[in-house]
Structure 1
Amino acid sequence: MGRAFLFGRLAAKDLRRHLSEAVLLFLVIAAAAATLTMGLVLHGETSNPYDTTQAATNGPDAVANLSPTLSDSGSVRANANPADLAALESAPGVVGHSGPYPTTFALLDARGMRTSAMVEGRDLAPATLAQPALTAGSWIRDGGVVIERSFADALGVQVGDAISLRGRPYRVAGIAVDAATAPYPHVCAGGWCDVIYRPSVAKDQISQYQPGVIWLPRSDAVDLAAPDIGLSYLLNLKLTDPAQAPAFAASRTHTSSPGSPVVIKSRQEISTDAAKLVRGPHTVLLVGSGLLILLALASVTVLVGGRLAEQTRRVGLLKAVGATPGTVAILLLVEHLAVTLVAAAAGLAIGWDLAPLLTSPGAGLLGAPGTPPITVSTVAAVVGVALAVAALATVTPALQAARTSTVNALADTARPPRRSTVVNALSTHLPVPLLLGVRLAARRPRRLALSTLSVTVTEAGIIAIVMEHARLGGTSGLVNPQNQRMTQVMLVITVMLIALAAVNAVLITWATVFDARRASALARALGATPQQVTAALIAAQLVAVLPGSVLGVPLGMGLLKVVTTSGDAYKLVPSWWFLLVVLGTWLVTSALIAIPARFGGRLPTARILRAELS
C-alpha cells in the first residue's frame, strides 16, 4: 500500500509540473477513443424508427415482388400476371394482404434534375395494410402523386411542385414514409431494380443513381410501363408469426423456375436495408479510428520520449535515493497510463453522446433512434486500445531511462550520435543546411519513421475525402443521403487527422530541437549561421515528409476502396488535384515545423556549450 501511495504521489507531482504535456496526451487519446467508440456502438441498426414507421403504416411482415417473364436474350416476353400471386394470399401462415399493386420504373424530371423512379400504382382509397403514412399533403389523386420522403428531400421537391414521369406531367400531392420498401437510396436492395439499366431508363448516365419510390393511381402505373421494362406486381403480406417472416420469404422465393420470378422480402430484411444509412458511417468511423490510433501512437511516443529526455536528471535522482530500475520504469508508466485511463473514459462519454447524431435514420423513417447502448465489450475494447497505445509508446523509453546508469543520468551528458558511413558519404557534398539536416534525421531513425507514418496517414485521409467529393459531387445535383453522411463523417475524421498530424509535426520538431541542441550549438561555434541551423532542423523533418506525402496517395486510394467499394474513383479526380495535395502537405508541414526550428536555431550557443563543459 505504501509503495502504491508513493507511486501515486510522485506521478501526481510530476503531472502537475508538466501539465501542458499531460493535457496534450489527454486530448490525443480522447479523440481516438471517441471516434472508436462511435464506430463500435453503431451496428447499423435503426430498429426503433423502423418499428415506429411499421406501426404508423400497419406495415407488412413480408413483401412479394413478381417480375415480368424474360426471354433467353433478357428482353421482356410478358408482363407479370397478378393471378400468379394468388397462392401466396392463401398460403399457410398468411392472415392478411394488400395488393397486388402494379410497379414499373420510369424517367423522372424534377426541378431541373433527371433520375429514375420506381412507380407503384395504388388505389385512391387508403389500404388497411401497408398504407404509406403522410407527413405532408394528401393521398394520391388523378394527376397527383405521393413521393417517399427521403427521395423528396434528395430531389428538393415539396407539395404542389410539378414533376414529370416519362414525359407526363404530374403534381406532388403529398409526401409519405413507408415500411414496405426501404427508404431512398436503398429501394433496390435485394436485386429488384435490374431493369433500371434498360435503354428507356438508363439515359444521360442516370443509371448510376438509385431510384426512389413514387405512388400514383393504378392506371397511371400501367400506362407508364415501357416495353423493355415491363410491369411487375407487389403483394404485401401479414403473417401469423412475424418472427417467421425470414423463413417464409426464403421458402417462397423462386427465381430459377419457368415463368415470372418471385422474390419475397421479410420485414427484418427491409429493416436491415433501412439501416444502411448508418452502416456506411459505421465503416468509415472504424477505419478512421484506426488511422487516428496510429497517429495517437506516434504522438504519444514522441511526447513520452521528449518528456523522458528532459527528465534524465530526475531519473538519476530517483535511482540515487534507492529506486531500482523497475521502480523507475513503473513510475513512468503509471503517469501516462493514469492520464490514458481518464482520456479513454472521456472518449467513451463523448462518443456515446455523439452517436445518436449518426444513428438518425434521416427522412425515410419516423421516430428517433435513441442513444445506442455501450456494452462491456465496447468499454473493454476502447480502454484496452487506449492503454495499449500508451503502453507501447511508454515501455521502450521507460526501460531505456531505467537502464541508464545513475552517474550518467545525474550528469545528463549528451548522447553520442549514431554514425552511418553511408549517410556521411551521401551528405558530404550537400549544402550545409541539408548536410546537417540529413545527419540529424539519421541519428533518430525511429523518430524519422514516426514522422513519415504521421504524414502518410494524414495525407491518405485527405486523398480519400478529395476522391469521395469528386465521385459524389461531379455528376448531378441529386443528393444521396447515405453518401452525404459518409462524406460528412470522412470530413470530420480528416480534420481530426490533420489536427493530430499538426501536433505530431510540432512535437517531433521540438523533440529534434531539444535532442540536437548541443550539436546545433557546436555547429554554430564552428561557423554555421542561425539561419543555416534553422534550415537544417526543417530539412531534418522534410526528409520524412517527402516520402510520406508520396506514400499517402496510393494509401488514400486503397482507403476509399475499402470504405466505399469504389475502386475507380481516382479516374474522376484531375491529376493536378493529387499534386496540389502533395504540395500543400509540404507547405503546411514546413510552416508548422518552422516555428520550433526557428527557436532552435537561435538558442544561445555559449550557454549550451558552457553547461556541457561544466
Structure 2
Amino acid sequence: MGTGMATVLRLTLRDLRRSRARAALLLVAITATTTTLTLGLLVRDATARPWERTRAATAGPDAVATGDARALAKLARAPGVTGAARPYPTASGRLEARGHTVNALVHGRDVAPSRLDRPLVTDGRWLRPGAAVVERAFARALGVRPGDRVTIAGRTFPVAGVAIGSGRVPYPSAAPGLVWLTRADAARLPAARTGSGARTLTMPLRLADPDAAPAFAARHPGVRSWQDMGAYATAELRLANGALLGGTWALAILAAMSVSLLVGGRLAEQGRRVGTLKVAGATPAFIALLLLAEHLAVAVAATIVGVLAGWAAAPLVAGPNAGLLGAGTPAPSAGTVLAVLAVAVAVTAAATAVPALRGARIGTVRALAEPVRAPRRRSRLAAAFSGLPLPLLLLGARIAARRPRRTVLAGLSMAVTVAMVVAALAMGRDIERKDAVVLGPDFVPGAGNPVTERLSQIVLVLALAMLALAAVNAVLTAWTTSLDNLRTAALTRALGATPRQVTTGLASAQLLPAAFAALGGVPLGLLVYAAARAAGGSPGQAEVPVLWLAATVPATLAVVGLLTAVPVRYGATRPVTEALGGR
C-alpha cells in the first residue's frame, strides 16, 4: 500500500511538472472559487461583531423611545423596563463645515457620562459647554476633526471630539448624521422647536430581557429595539455576504466545468500513456487514482492560496461602518479552512471521478492505438450541418457535433458567465440610480455611499473572477478540441485545405456554442437579477441599456476568438505526418 501511494505521488509530481500550463489554469480556476468562499465566510463571521462590540463599549440601550415627556415617563414604568436614562432633546438643523451644507441631527446630552447609552470618544474629548462632538462616520464624511468648527442652525461650535454610539444607527445607514451638544446648547437652537414650541425627546431603555426587545418595540409605538438598529448598522456586511456566497455557487459551477474540461484534455492527450501504464501492470483503479491525485494536489494548493488571498482581501469588504467599533478581520478559523478545503476537493473530485474512471477502463490496445475516447460520428447532427459552406461552419459544426457533451459544457460555462456579467451590469445601474436618489440634503455631497461602494467592489471582484474562469474554460475547450481533432485536421489538410482554413474551422467549433450561450445568457442574467431583487424585497425589472445588451453577443464572440486562437492554431499547424502517425 505504501509503495503504491509513493508511486502515485512520484508520478503525480512528474505529471504536474510536465503540464505546468494546464496545472496553472486549474489553479486559477479553483483559487477563484476558494478565494470568494473565504471572503464570504469571513464577512459572515464579521457581520454581528461590530455592533455587539460597539454596544458593549458604549453601554448600549436595549431599546430607544422617542416622544413627549408624558409618554416617555409612562413608558419608563412599563412592564419589562428595568432602567431608563434621562430623556434628552432631539432636534435637526442645517450644518455647515468645510464648505459642505447638510442636514444634521442634534442630541442634547449631559456633560457627565451617562450610565446608559454612553458614547465612546475615539478622538479628542467629550462635551463641554459651547462645543460639539460629531459622530465618527459623519465626521469622516465631512472631513472634520477636533479643533475644527461647525455651524449648526446659524450657531458656530468648535469640535471638541469625535465619538461613536449605539443609541442610533450610524451615518450613512441612517441619515442625517449625528452631532452631540450640551442640553443647554441644543435647547437654544432655533431648529429645536416646532411651531407649537414642543420638543422631541429621546429616552434609552434597559429591559429585563434584551432578547425580547423586538416584541417590546412592537407593543409600544415610537420604540426601536437594539436588534433592529443592529440590522441596519450592519446591512452592508450582510449584503456583501449574500453577494459573495451567491457568487461562490456560480464560481464553483465554472470551476467544476474547468476541471472536467481539463480531465478530458488530459485523457485525449495521454491515451498512449494510459495504455503504457496498463502494459506495465497498472490497474484501472490505480490509473484513476493517479488522474484524480493530480487534480486533488492542485485543489489543495488552490485552497491554501485562496484562503490567504481571501484573508488579505477581507478588510476591503468586511470592515464595518466607520460609526461602529471594529477590531480588524480575524484570521480564518480552522472551520473556515476545512470548509473551503472540502468545497475545493468536492468540486475537483466530482468533476474528475467519472471521466477518470471511464478513461482508466478503456482497453489497453485501444489506448495505445488512439486517444482514450475518440470522437463519435453523429450522423444526424452532421447531416443537419451538411449544407453549410466549408470551412468556416461545416468543419466547425461537425467537430462540435462529434463532442456534444463538451460542446454543451462549454456553452453552459459561457452562458453562466454572460448571465452573471449581465446581472452585474444591472446591479451597477441600480446602484447608480440609488446613489442619485440619496444625493439629498441629508448626505454629505461628494462623500459617496459606503454601502453602494462596497457592493460595487464586490460585483467587480465577482465579475473579474467569473471572466477569469470563463477564459480558462474557453482555452481548455479549444485545447482539448484541438487534441481530439489532430487527425481530422491533418486529413483535412492532406485533402487540400490550408492551415488557415483548418484554423477557421476549429475556431468556429468554439464560436458556435459561444454564440448560443451569449444569446441565452442575456435574458438569463436579467432573470437572475430580477429574482435577486424580488428575494430582497424590492421587486422590479432590471434597467440595462439595450445597446449594452446588444453588444454582449459580439463582445463574447470576440473574446472567445482571441482566447482560443493559440490552442486552435496548434491543432491546425501540427505536421501532417506526425498527427497521422499518432505520436
Match of 1:404 among 362, 375, 381: 362
| Cα distance change on mapping 1:435 and 1:226 into 2, 3 Å | farther
Q: Which moved more, 1:394-403 or 1:310-319?
A: 394-403
- CA shift at 1:511, angstroms? 1.2
In structure 2, list runs of 5 or more residues that go unmatched: 440-445
In structure 1, list runs of 5 or more residues that go unmatched: 67-79, 188-209, 256-260
Q: For residue 580 of structure 1, what is the aligned residue in structure 2?
A: 551
AA partner of residue 186 (structure 2): R
- The answer to whether the 8 Å contact 1:124/1:139 transfers is no
Deviations 1:457-500 (A, max 9, x none): 22233223323332223514452212211211221121111122
Query: How far apart, in 2, do the equivalents of 1:147 and 1:278 lie?
Result: 24
Q: For residue 506 of structure 1, what is the aligned residue in structure 2?
A: 475
Q: For residue 236 of structure 1, what is the aligned residue in structure 2?
A: 204
Count the aligned residue pairs: 561
- CA shift at 1:177, angstroms? 1.6
1:343 aligns with 2:311: no
SS at match of 2:325: coil
| Cα distance change on mapping 1:226 and 1:91 into 2, 3 Å | closer
Query: How far apart, in 1, do the equivalents of 2:23 and 2:102 lie?
Result: 54
- CA shift at 1:163, angstroms? 6.7
- The answer to whether the 8 Å contact 2:421/2:525 transfers is yes
Query: How far apart, in 1, do the equivalents of 2:475 and 2:11 lie?
Result: 28
Query: How far apart, in 1, do the equivalents of 2:152 and 2:228 lie?
Result: 32
Match of 1:602 among 563, 573, 578: 573
Q: For residue 262 of structure 1, what is the aligned residue in structure 2?
A: 222
1:463 aligns with 2:422: yes
- CA shift at 1:510, angstroms? 1.3
Q: How well do the aligned residues superpose, as a CA RMSD in angstroms? A: 3.4
| Cα distance change on mapping 1:419 and 1:404 into 2, 3 Å | same
Match of 1:322 among 251, 266, 281: 281
Q: For residue 564 of structure 2, what is the aligned residue in structure 1?
A: 593
SS at match of 1:43: helix
Q: For residue 313 of structure 1, what is the aligned residue in structure 2?
A: 272
Matches within 5 A, 1:121-520: 121-123=107-109, 125-129=111-115, 130-135=117-122, 146-154=133-141, 160=148, 173=159, 175-187=162-174, 211-215=176-180, 217-219=185-187, 223=191, 232-238=200-206, 244-248=209-213, 250-251=215-216, 253-255=218-220, 261-266=221-226, 268-371=227-330, 374-376=333-335, 378-412=336-370, 415=374, 417-474=376-433, 475=436, 476=439, 477=446, 479-520=448-489
- CA shift at 1:297, angstroms? 0.9
- CA shift at 1:44, angstroms? 5.6
Query: How far apart, in 1, do the equivalents of 2:550 and 2:102 lie?
Result: 34
AA partner of residue 133 (structure 1): L
| Cα distance change on mapping 1:156 and 1:449 into 2, 3 Å | farther
AA partner of residue 122 (structure 1): G
| Cα distance change on mapping 1:13 and 1:145 into 2, 3 Å | same
AA partner of residue 343 (structure 2): V
SS at match of 1:595: helix
Query: How far apart, in 2, do the equivalents of 1:552 and 1:318 lie?
Result: 43
- CA shift at 1:312, angstroms? 0.7
AA partner of residue 602 (structure 1): T
- The answer to whether the 8 Å contact 2:87/2:201 transfers is yes
Query: How far apart, in 1, do the equivalents of 2:563 and 2:77 lie?
Result: 73
- The answer to whether the 8 Å contact 1:48/1:369 transfers is no
SS at match of 1:309: helix
| Cα distance change on mapping 1:507 and 1:281 into 2, 3 Å | same
Q: Which moved more, 1:364-373 or 1:32-41?
A: 364-373
- The answer to whether the 8 Å contact 1:97/1:236 transfers is yes
Deviations 1:575-609 (A, max 9, x none): 22223344322222222122322333322224323
SS at match of 1:42: helix
- The answer to whether the 8 Å contact 1:145/1:170 transfers is no
- The answer to whether the 8 Å contact 2:29/2:472 transfers is no
Q: For residue 100 of structure 1, what is the aligned residue in structure 2?
A: 87
Query: How far apart, in 2, do the equivalents of 1:579 and 1:147 lie?
Result: 49
Query: How far apart, in 1, do the equivalents of 2:524 and 2:98 lie?
Result: 39
| Cα distance change on mapping 1:435 and 1:162 into 2, 3 Å | farther
Q: Which moved more, 1:559-568 or 1:36-45?
A: 559-568
Deviations 1:165-211 (A, max 9, x none): 7xx67668354321111222333xxxxxxxxxxxxxxxxxxxxxx54
| Cα distance change on mapping 1:579 and 1:220 into 2, 3 Å | farther
Match of 2:504 among 515, 525, 535: 535
AA partner of residue 60 (structure 1): G
Query: How far apart, in 2, do the equivalents of 1:43 and 1:577 lie?
Result: 33
Could you tell me the percent identity over the aligned residues? 40
SS at match of 1:213: strand
- The answer to whether the 8 Å contact 2:64/2:203 transfers is yes
- CA shift at 1:115, angstroms? 7.1
Query: How far apart, in 1, do the equivalents of 2:150 and 2:390 lie?
Result: 71
Query: How far apart, in 2, do the equivalents of 1:157 and 1:597 lie?
Result: 60
- CA shift at 1:25, angstroms? 2.3
Query: How far apart, in 1, do the equivalents of 2:383 and 2:150 lie?
Result: 75
Match of 1:526 among 473, 483, 495: 495
AA partner of residue 594 (structure 1): A
* TM-score, scaled relative to structure 2: 0.85
- The answer to whether the 8 Å contact 1:121/1:220 transfers is no
Deviations 1:46-85 (A, max 9, x none): 555445544554x33323223xxxxxxxxxxxxx422211
Q: For residue 39 of structure 1, what is the aligned residue in structure 2?
A: 40
- The answer to whether the 8 Å contact 2:98/2:143 transfers is yes
- The answer to whether the 8 Å contact 1:98/1:127 transfers is no
- CA shift at 1:404, angstroms? 1.5
SS at match of 2:496: coil
| Cα distance change on mapping 1:597 and 1:88 into 2, 3 Å | same
Query: How far apart, in 1, do the equivalents of 2:403 and 2:193 lie?
Result: 71
Q: For residue 11 of structure 1, what is the aligned residue in structure 2?
A: 12
Query: How far apart, in 2, do the equivalents of 1:520 and 1:497 lie?
Result: 32
- The answer to whether the 8 Å contact 1:106/1:225 transfers is no
AA partner of residue 389 (structure 2): L
- The answer to whether the 8 Å contact 2:518/2:556 transfers is yes
AA partner of residue 492 (structure 1): V
| Cα distance change on mapping 1:169 and 1:100 into 2, 3 Å | same
- The answer to whether the 8 Å contact 2:95/2:150 transfers is no
AA partner of residue 499 (structure 1): A
AA partner of residue 65 (structure 2): N
- The answer to whether the 8 Å contact 1:121/1:215 transfers is yes
Query: How far apart, in 2, do the equivalents of 1:53 and 1:360 lie?
Result: 14
Q: For residue 552 of structure 1, what is the aligned residue in structure 2?
A: 521
- CA shift at 1:453, angstroms? 2.1
* TM-score, scaled relative to structure 1: 0.81
